[in-house]
Chains A and B, each alone.
Chain A
Amino acid sequence: MSDQQSSIGIGAKFKGKITGAKALEINGDVEADIDIGKITIGQDAHFKGGIKADLAVISGIYEGTMQAESIWLTDTSRVSGEIRYQSLQMDRGAALNCRVVYNWDDTDQKPKKSKSKDKVEDQPDDIIEEDK
């Protein structure tokens, strides 16, 4: 049990801070800001908040600003907000209503808050505006 990676189970709700994890699997309903090596957002998950990661695998619902070297959006993923990546894989069926930025550079562009009008069902649609 003790070598197991951290996870938030299906049906669990968490709001707060998670630090120190190398890898994390989220299957529940989570509101947090996370800085991590690898994060997996499962099919049943709903994640809201910022992510900084080396690798992010998204199969559930994500809302927020994500910054990762490598992002894999599977066919069940629903993303709103903003993603910044160096390498991106998207499966057929992935639903993106977000800004997508390649090869971000923190120093020369300060990200304005999330864009996109989001039409994804079963989530509260806070309407966020598109700006260029």
Chain B
Amino acid sequence: MSEITYISKEVSVEGVLEADDLKVVVAGSFSGNINANEVILEEGSRFDGEVDARIIVIEGELKGKVKSYQLKVSETARVDGELQTNSIEVASGAEIAGSISRVS
């Protein structure tokens, strides 16, 4: 458990998080950059910035840039930005505005 980085609901974080081969879960708000193996932006979370991870799951609100090998956007998600991914799954109900492209 101590290897997971978790930002709980009431918490706001601003900054740069580098967790290269680790898992990051955000339930609160994060503004800045995240670099990790797996990033889960939970329902109710707010993210503003750039996120780069092998696996990314978006269930909350996101503004900014996303780069991932595998991206999942759930029905509660609202995404506004640039998505770069090789594999994307979008649930019905998700709101996406912006661009989607392959990881170069």
Contact = CB atoms under 8 A, between A and B. Distances in A.
Given A11-B22, A12-B5, A12-B22, A19 B15 contact: no
For A7, A12, A14, A18, the residue with the greatest tally of chain B CB atoms inside 10 Å of its CB is A12
A35 to B, nearest CB: 12
Contacts of B20: 11
Contact of B2 (A9, A13, A21, A22): A9
For A5, A6, A10, A13, the residue with the greatest tally of chain B CB atoms inside 10 Å of its CB is A6
Interface residues of B, number: 29
Contacts, number: 94
A13 B24 CA distance: 12
Interface string B20-58: 111111011000100010000010000000000000000
Given A1-B6, A11-B3, A20-B11, 14 more contacts: A5-B8, A6-B8, A7-B2, A9-B22, A14-B13, A14-B15, A14-B16, A17-B13, A17-B15, A20-B28, A21-B8, A25-B2, A28-B19, A32-B15
